[in-house]
Structures are given as C-alpha cells and as structure tokens.
A = this chain, B = another copy of it.
C-alpha cells in the first residue's frame, strides 16, 4: 500500500465564510486518493513578527505549523489577493516560519490556488508568493496554474465549491502535484 502524501494547507483568508476557505476544504475530495490535506487554523493568533518576541521564544502555533510542514510531503497555499500581493496574515505566518530552524519549507513541493471576486482570480498574488518561496527554498509547481475568478459565483451558500470547470481545473492540478511530489522526493 503506498504511503499517503500529506499536504499542509495555508488559507490566506480569515473570515468564516471565506471563498478561499471553501476551496481549501474542497482539495481533499478533488485530489488523487493518495493525498491527504490538513487545513491550518489559528494563523490569526500568531502575533506580528517581532524579533524581541522571538528572543523569548517562538509562539507555540508557529512551532506547531513548522512541525506540520516538516512532516508533510507538500504545502498548498489557497489565498485571495489583497492589494496586488498576498494577505499580511499569510505573509506574517511565513515571516515567523522562515526563522525556525531547520527551515520547514526547504525543498518542499508547493501548489498554489488563488481566488478573487474579479476576473483576474488573484493572479498578481501568485508571483509575489513565488518570489517569497525562492527565499524559503520551496519549489512551487509551475503548471497548471489555478486562478479562480468570479469566485462568489462558484461557491454554494453552504460553502462548497460547486463550479464544475473549477473543480476539474483543481483536480487536474492536484493530480499533477502528486507526480511533482514524487519527482521532487
């Protein structure tokens, strides 16, 4: 029996009925059977990065996430675009995690989905995130890229990703990601 590929999922949006949260929760049902997904919670509880805080110890949540990444075979980022970049809350989690040793993201395969109400689907955030991932030494898969535009029309009232075309895009991306993880291992 093949070992499951466990994926840690960052969601860049905090609100309860977040569209990106709905996508994050949908990954498991859209992925190949050999993948499992754990959507991180508690990003909002991490204080803004401050080296003085770090000097007296990393927040427990940061260490918990670092461990989760270290034990995972891959990382997914599901995020809206705020101000043509990634949300501050997501960047802050990364800022903390980048200080943990050994580096939790090092050589981890990464997959990205962005979603927005506009037509562009958060595309601008993707390349900022990719530049950040160079420093983290993580490897985002190139293709297929997933940007979900007009996301409000693709999520049901009870928070399910219902748009068939988007479901197919993500299924294809996750199938490719499973192979990418194999390649990068």
Binding site for B on A (CB under 8 A): 13-16, 43-44, 46-52, 82-95, 98, 119-121, 123-124, 127-128, 130-139, 142-143, 145, 147, 149, 183-184
Contact B48 A43 (CB under 8 A): yes
Chain B: CB-nearest residue to A97: B83
Complex A-B: 13 CB contacts under 8 Å: A44-B50, A49-B82, A82-B91, A82-B95, A82-B98, A85-B131, A88-B88, A88-B91, A91-B91, A128-B131, A134-B143, A139-B142, A183-B184
Contact B16 A52 (CB under 8 A): yes
Q: CB < 8 Å: which of B47, B88, B119, B142 contacts A134?
A: B142
Contact B84 A95 (CB under 8 A): no
Q: Which residues of B contact A139 (CB under 8 A)?
A: 139, 142
Contact A85 B85 (CB under 8 A): yes
Q: A119-B149, A127-B131 are in contact. List 19 more A-B contacts (CB 8 A).
A: A14-B49, A15-B52, A43-B48, A44-B50, A46-B48, A48-B89, A83-B95, A84-B131, A85-B91, A87-B91, A87-B95, A88-B92, A91-B92, A92-B92, A130-B134, A137-B143, A139-B142, A183-B184, A184-B184
Q: Which residues of B contact A93 (CB under 8 A)?
A: 88
A16 to B55, CA, bound (A): 12
Q: Which residues of B contact A47 (CB under 8 A)?
A: 44
Q: Which residues of B contact A136 (CB under 8 A)?
A: 83
Q: Which residues of B contact A98 (CB under 8 A)?
A: 82-83
A124 to B143, CA, bound (A): 16
